[in-house]
């Protein structure tokens, strides 16, 4: 099958490209000019220059493809640079969907997010839900994947935690650290995209992807510490009434590490029921405890 991939230079996209090539698919990926060096896979991957936020650059880009895998997403906005949830999560997928329909593509696999829904309280989740709506309303044979927090070698989440633990004798934790996360392995997320191409029974379905167990944030820190040989992690829990005003003051600084919206998403937790996904794909979800060690080997 000939597959068009957006977001191929990203963390998830890199693994999706690897698995598509390994499965024998012909792969074409959309890359902004100058970003070719970010591609982890070059062999057997055709590069098409363009930008999903600029419809004109998609003209003919999907011609001859059987399916499109749309992976573009951001976790933080930088409005001054034109990086917004509206532009990347809503306009970009609409442009890709329109191009796919116009150029004869039939199959669409779309990456959304756990927590996406009509009642989303953050801009991130609201725009992810809007994109899902566009996918469902398209004339394509669609499948939507909603992964929880994704981890794996080189992933931003585990890298950030490991750096904090290595550099700080005491790791700051927002709030009580009891909010629960269910990280899912990037390899299993990518496997699902690659396999769904040959699974017509997944058309019209939405799947929640999560790990084999959930943990509170303090436990995630300890598991990460063990994986890098630090054992138990000393933590300093920061009261929310102290943290929120400071973040509100600093969140617009480009190098400040977190925003209020990200705090709200963290405190809300990120867990899901993986039964439908695990059953449909015959997957045994890997837990963070089982998989985090492989991120540093």
Tell me the CATH number at 65: 3.40.50.720
CA-nearest of 16, 64, 5, 4 to 188 is 16
Report d(CA 160, CA 137) in Å as an integer: 37
Q: What is the pLDDT of residue 41?
A: 84
- 22, 45 in Cβ contact below 8 A? no
The contacts of residue 88 (CB under 8 Å, 6+ apart) are: 53, 72, 73, 74
Answer whether residue 245 is part of any domain.
no
In a domain, 120, yes or no: yes
Would you say residue 202 lies in a domain?
Answer: yes
- Model confidence over 129-179: pLDDT tens digits? 999 999 999 999 999 999 999 999 999 999 999 999 999 999 999 999 999
For residues 183 and 270, give the distance between their C-alpha atoms in angstroms, rounded to a whole number.
8
* CA gap 104, 256 in Å, rounded: 44
Residue at 198 is within a domain? yes
> For residue range 231-285, what is the model confidence (pLDDT) as tens digits?
889 999 999 999 999 999 999 888 898 999 999 999 999 999 999 999 999 999 9
pTM over 0.85: yes
Does 84 reside within a domain?
yes
Q: What's the rounded Cα separation, in Å, for the pair 292 and 201?
A: 32
The domain in which residue 51 lies consists of 2-150+185-211+273-285
Is 91 a domain residue?
Answer: yes
Q: Whole-angstrom Cα distance, residue 109 to residue 216? A: 31
Q: Please report, for residues 178, 249, 253, the alpha-carbon distance to residue 257 in angstroms, rounded to integers and kept in the order given.
A: 21, 13, 9
Indicate the number of domains in the chain.
1
The Cα 234–Cα 222 span in angstroms is 9
> CA–CA separation, 225 vs 48, rounded Å?
41
Could you give the 3-state DSSP secondary structure of residue 106? coil
Confidence of residue 207 (pLDDT cuts 50, 70, 90): very high
pLDDT of residue 197: 98
For residue 99, is it within any domain?
yes
80, part of any domain: yes
Question: Does residue 57 register a pLDDT over 90?
Answer: yes
Average pLDDT, the chain: 96
């Amino acid at each position: 099958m000939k597959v068009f991939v957006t977001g191929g230079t990203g963390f998830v996209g890199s693994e999706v490209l690897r698995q598509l090539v390994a499965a024998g698919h012909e792969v074409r990926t959309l890359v902004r000019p100058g970003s070719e060096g970010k591609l982890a896979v070059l062999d057997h991957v055709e590069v098409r220059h363009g930008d999903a936020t600029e419809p004109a650059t998609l003209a003919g880009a999907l011609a001859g493809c059987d399916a499109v895998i749309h992976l573009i997403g951001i976790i933080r906005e930088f409005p001054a640079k034109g990086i917004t949830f509206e532009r990347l999560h809503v306009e970009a997928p609409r442009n890709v969907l329109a191009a796919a329909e116009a150029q004869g593509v039939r199959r669409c696999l779309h990456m959304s997010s756990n927590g996406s829904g009509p009642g989303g309280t953050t801009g991130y989740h609201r725009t992810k839900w809007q994109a899902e709506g566009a996918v469902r309303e398209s004339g394509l044979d669609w499948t939507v994947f909603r992964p929880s927090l994704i981890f794996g070698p080189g992933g931003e989440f585990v890298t950030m935690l490991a750096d904090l633990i290595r550099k700080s004798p005491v790791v700051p934790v927002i709030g009580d650290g009891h909010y629960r996360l269910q990280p899912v392995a990037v390899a299993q997320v990518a496997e699902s995209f690659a396999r769904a191409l040959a699974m017509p029974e997944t058309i019209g379905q939405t799947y929640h992807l999560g790990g084999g167990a959930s943990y509170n944030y303090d436990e995630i820190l300890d598991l990460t510490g063990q994986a890098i040989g630090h054992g138990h992690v000393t933590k300093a829990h920061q009261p929310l009434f102290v943290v929120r005003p400071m973040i509100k003051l600093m969140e617009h600084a480009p190098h400040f590490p977190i925003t209020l919206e990200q705090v709200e998403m963290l405190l809300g937790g990120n867990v899901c029921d993986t039964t439908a996904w695990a059953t449909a794909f015959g997957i045994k979800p890997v837990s963070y405890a089982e998989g985090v060690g492989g991120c540093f080997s």
